[in-house]
Amino acid sequence: MAEVDLAVIGAGLAGCSLIGRLQQLGSDLNIALIEAGRGPGGRTATRRKRDQSGWLLNHGAPGFNLSESMPEGMDSLLKPLRARGVLQQDKRAVLSLDVEAGLSPATSPDAWPNGGWWHGVPSMASICEALLDTAGTAQLSRQFETRVRWLEHRKDHWLLENEDRTWSLRAKRLVLSGTLLAHPRSLKMLAWDDVPLRTAIAEGVDDDLDKALSLLQHSQAEVRWNLMVDLGVLALNAEELPAQIWLNDAAKARWKVERLVLQPQSVGRWGLVVHGLDSGQAITPESQGHLLAQEQQRLVELLPKLLQALPVVSAALNQATPLGVMRWGASRPLNNPLPQELQWCPTSAVGFCGDWIAGTGFGRAEGAVSSGVNLAEQLHADR
């Protein structure tokens, strides 16, 4: 059985920022990164087509904003990505759509934040990939398409196992960059009969962890149903279409959609992602297939109405190909942020990072990066 100094569960912005910053600090930790998806990205994931070279559709976050003044550690982490062109400002327009499906320049803080939008090049997943590349290969192992189901805390290490226990790992320290293994939503969503982290550490053993799990137990997050569409070839340059179209409050209420994202592909093709809002129906392994099909049909039927102000795109819907719906069960935390002083629980040797940590950027990608940097600096100082 493999053994490492640190196991990081989740390869999104927070987990990858943690690993990248540890490397910058000269850490000598032997790290394992475990991710349920096919590769790094998390909510900045990118859908690829195996049969179509150059198809890179950002089906999670299409970009994010950054404060003009960032902490030194975070600036140091992102500066090389900006220098390499992996992280760039998106200069394309952002529009607002009203309840009559009319378009106008976006002015709301969500649609047009201070400092504008930053995105990954050639795709959003490139940001996480670049953060991991700084860590090299000697001290970092990557385990993709592996969902950790079982956690056990022993005297001097953690034991991690997948659902059927065909894979396992020992780690001296553990970091969760998402809430699934610590939040009751796993009970219904995955039909688990326990919350793994709570089972691993009984209540009363670690006061800090008890406080953290209590807060998480009552935290809520937004759910998204993101429809992906191949629009085919459009006789348009990238600058001729907006990067994003945000629905105003009245339009959101009417159509249960947050925004539409238009992304140019190779050889003139275009991709579209519709960020659909949740209907409130509980999802379980048994209901998931039906709900995914239901949301795809609902969103596909809305597209002619939502895109009527863009005739070229609207006309392309006749030959467009839906590529399925991606459900984000916790697309953005809403409340009960975890205080930074609870990011690391030394008694149990377990830590947390993600956009659900309190501080600048809570609920946003900036908060995910910042939390990874903060935890990395704490782990490095406590080595």
CATH number of 226's domain:
3.90.660
- pLDDT bracket for residue 138 (50, 70, 90): low
pLDDT band at residue 150, thresholds of 50, 70 and 90? very high
What pLDDT, in 10s, does the model give residues 32-53?
999 999 999 999 999 988 777 7
**61 and 167 co-located in one domain:** yes
- Integer distance in angstroms from the first to the last C-alpha of the chain? 24
Instruction: Using the structure block, give the residue that is written with the tokens 């003139």.
Output: 268
- Residue 186 tokens, joined: 């796993």
Task: Examine the domain organization and report whether 161 and 65 are in the same domain.
Answer: yes
Residue 230: give the domain boundaries.
90-120+222-331
Q: Inter-axis angle of helices 125-133 and 13-24, to 10 degrees?
A: 30
Could you tell me the CATH number of the domain that includes residue 58? Answer: 3.50.50.60
295, 313, 331 - which closes a domain: 331
CB environment 318-351: b (16+ within 10 A), e (fewer): eebebbebbbbbbbbbeeebbebebbbbeebbbb
Structural domains of the chain, count: 2
Question: Do 193 and 298 belong to one domain?
Answer: no
Mean pLDDT of the chain, nearest integer: 94
Do 296 and 168 fall within a single domain? no
Whether 55 and 151 share a structural domain? yes
Q: What is the pTM (predicted TM-score) of this model?
A: 0.95
Q: Which 3 state secondary structure label does DSSP give 284?
A: coil
| Together in a domain, 284 and 149 | no
**Same structural domain for residues 362 and 231?**
no
346 with 313, same domain: the answer is no
Residues 110 and 59 in one domain: no
Q: Kindly state the percentage of the chain with pLDDT values over 90.
A: 85
Residues 139 and 234 both lie in one domain:
no
Do 20 and 160 share a domain, yes or no?
yes
Give, as one character, the DSSP assignment of residue 70. Answer: -
* Token duo for residue 347: 């008694």
Q: Nearest-CA neighbor of 306 among 232, 242, 237, 219? A: 242
CA distance 130 to 85: 11
Closest CA to 143 of 173, 166, 120: 166
Instruction: Indicate if 113 and 147 belong to the same structural domain.
Output: no
Rounded CA separation 154/329 (Å):
31
What is the pLDDT, as a whole number, of residue 287?
Answer: 86
User: Judging by DSSP bridges, how do beta strands 168-176 and 52-58 pair with one another?
Assistant: unpaired
Q: If we measure between CA atoms, which residue out of 152, 190, 332 comes closest to residue 258? A: 332
pLDDT tens, 327-346?
A: 998 899 999 999 999 999 99
